[in-house]
Structure 1
Amino acid sequence: MFSKYYVPAGSSADGDFTTVVTPESAGWTESSLWILELAPGANVHLRSGENEIIVVPLAGSAVVVAEGTEIPLTGRASVFDGPSDFAYVGRDADYSVSSTGGGRFALCGARAGAKLPHRYGPASGVAVELRGAGNCSRQVHNFAT
């Protein structure tokens, strides 16, 4: 069963991204998601535009360079290996994501009014919360709160 809220992998691919969800494609106003899969040694140059971006390693490690600020991300083997470190890229910035060993990365965007400094977010600073109860319980990692 398909709905407008389910986007199968590859169905919204665009250029370097295997999945693209924008406010326009989703019918909302503020947030976006791009899934970037990099081959070993690959490098992609991007522009944040009107969005602030959080780069979260889903699998693998990367280096994010935003306007001369280099942010190495240790990453993780998979999303089941706990929280990851992340990079924050402010709006209107040229930035790149590269990975020596390759990997899969979520670029989470939100429309932003002000340009804030680029920064590193350590995995140790990611809040981990348990929500729900019984067979409806789940663990949530709150990146960039």
Structure 2
Amino acid sequence: MAPQQNWFHPRGALARDGWESVVDDSLEGWQHTGIRVGALTEGRSLGFEGVDVERMIVPLSGDVHVEYVTSEGSHGSLDLAGRASVFDGPPDVAYTGVGTSVALTGTGRVAVAEAPATEALDVQVLRKADIPVEIRGAGRSTRQVHNYGTPAGLRAQKLIVCEVITPAENWSSYPAHKHDESVPGHESKLEEIYYFESAVSRGVTAPLEADPFGMFATYSSPAGQIDINALVRTGDIALVPFGYHGPAVAAPGYDLYYLNVMAGPDPERVWNISDDPAHGWVRAEWESQEPDPRLPYTETPKEASR
């Protein structure tokens, strides 16, 4: 049997062109989605050319200034209000269409979700105050979802983007599910990227040697063989071309975050999934459980001045 493709990449393993990580169709077996993750520092910019790709700019920490030139040659700029960390509620986000080149400046970290596309849509900005915060699941399966790049919240051709916060000891991306077959009205065919961050849980005091982590798993479906069973830390990336994926588990003492980027060949931009039949019954159990009272995580209040 031929060795399986490597679908898990530790932080920095995909470094390129000044970015900490770059996922695109230059990776074998990958064609419908992409992501760039990088650090912004004073006096240094990150950018990308206006090719046949639509994108969403997501501040991970700090504010981001965006300068852009559209496919029609129009120049523009905008400022995205960020956050202290990915555990401090949603940031402002921006969408740029096919053919738009961009330069990013600021201080902090930024992610850019990508999907090859053909329609040149207008630049869009979603402000943090307008982004709905969804509490999904219940009990130890409670998680917080920011659906700013989904079909209901963003006009795009292919790109679907959301982010998930899972507090310590909770499970998310569960029950394990898949979206690797085109079954209209039931299941979509979508590649998916998981970009992870982890931190000491909110309100917890930890020693300096603390090493925040979570766990993430995938396994095979009829569409293909895949096997990820990994400890995940800040900056790690998992690619899911097919197969069942989940759970993502936050270890005791540590909160877990992931940014999801999805797109695929289907004509309809929709996220339809199929649960693993062995585990889908768990969803019904949530009806008798209360959501985790620790959520939602919003902006951490600043300490009062002394």
TM over 0.5: yes
Shift of 1:24: 4.2
> Which of 111, 122, 134 is residue 127 of structure 2 equivalent to?
122
Match status 1:143 vs 2:148: yes
Match status 1:9 vs 2:11: yes
The whole-number CA distance in structure 2 between the counterparts of 1:104 and 1:88 is: 17
Shift of 1:18: 0.4
> Which of 46, 49, 52 is residue 47 of structure 1 equivalent to?
49
Which runs of structure 1 show a deviation greater than 3 angstroms over 4 or more consecutive aligned residues? Answer: none
Q: Contact (CA 8 Å) 2:57, 2:110: kept in 1 or not?
A: yes
Kindly report the root-mean-square deviation, in angstroms, between the aligned alpha carbons of the 2 structures: 1.7
Query: Based on CA coordinates, which of the two structures has the bigger radius of gyration?
Result: 2
What residue is the counterpart of 1:104 in the other structure? Answer: 109
> Which of 69, 74, 82 is residue 81 of structure 2 equivalent to?
74
Match status 1:92 vs 2:99: yes
Structure 1: stretches of 5+ with no match in the other structure: none
More strand, by proportion: 1
Shift of 1:5: 3.3
The whole-number CA distance in structure 2 between the counterparts of 1:9 and 1:118 is: 30
What residue is the counterpart of 2:23 in the other structure? Answer: 21
TM-score (norm 2): 0.44
Structure 2 CA distance for partners of 1:87 and 1:42, relative to 1, 3 Å = same
Shift of 1:26: 6.4
Q: Contact (CA 8 Å) 2:41, 2:105: kept in 1 or not?
A: no
TM-score (norm 1): 0.88
The whole-number CA distance in structure 1 between the counterparts of 2:135 and 2:120 is: 32
Q: Contact (CA 8 Å) 1:71, 1:119: kept in 2 or not?
A: no
The whole-number CA distance in structure 2 between the counterparts of 1:125 and 1:24 is: 35
Structure 2 CA distance for partners of 1:135 and 1:75, relative to 1, 3 Å = same
Q: Secondary structure at the match of 1:124?
A: helix
Deviates more, 1:128-137 or 1:56-65: 128-137
Structure 2: stretches of 5+ with no match in the other structure: 70-74, 154-306
